[in-house]
Amino acid sequence: MKIIIIVKPNKKENKVVKIGENIFEIYTNQPAKENKANLDIIQQMSKYFKVSKSKVSISSGLKSKKKILEINI
């Protein structure tokens, strides 16, 4: 399954908000430096979909606020 996410880095809390059919906003307290936000996004989405972190990958937009994630359920 592919989903589109919009990342909001450097926020006070971590949360996932579904805003459309396959569109999510992810708030992370990690900075968008040294891949820290991307790693936190993978962890949050694995918890949200209740799958292991190895089943979540960023297929597009590694350095962008808009990303496409692929989740193997």
User: pLDDT per residue over 3-35, tens digit each?
Assistant: 999 999 999 999 999 999 999 999 999 999 999
Per residue in 63-73, pLDDT (tens digit) is: 999 999 999 98
Give the number of C-alpha atoms closer than 13 A to the C-alpha of residue 23, restricted to the C-beta side.
Answer: 6
What is the pLDDT at residue 11? Answer: 94
pTM of the prediction?
Answer: 0.90
* Percentage of the chain exceeding pLDDT 70: 100
- Residue 73 has a pLDDT of 82
CATH class of 2-71: alpha beta
Report pLDDT for 19.
Answer: 96
Alpha-carbon 49 to chain mean position: 11
Q: What angle do CA 31, 17, 40 make, to 5 degrees?
A: 30
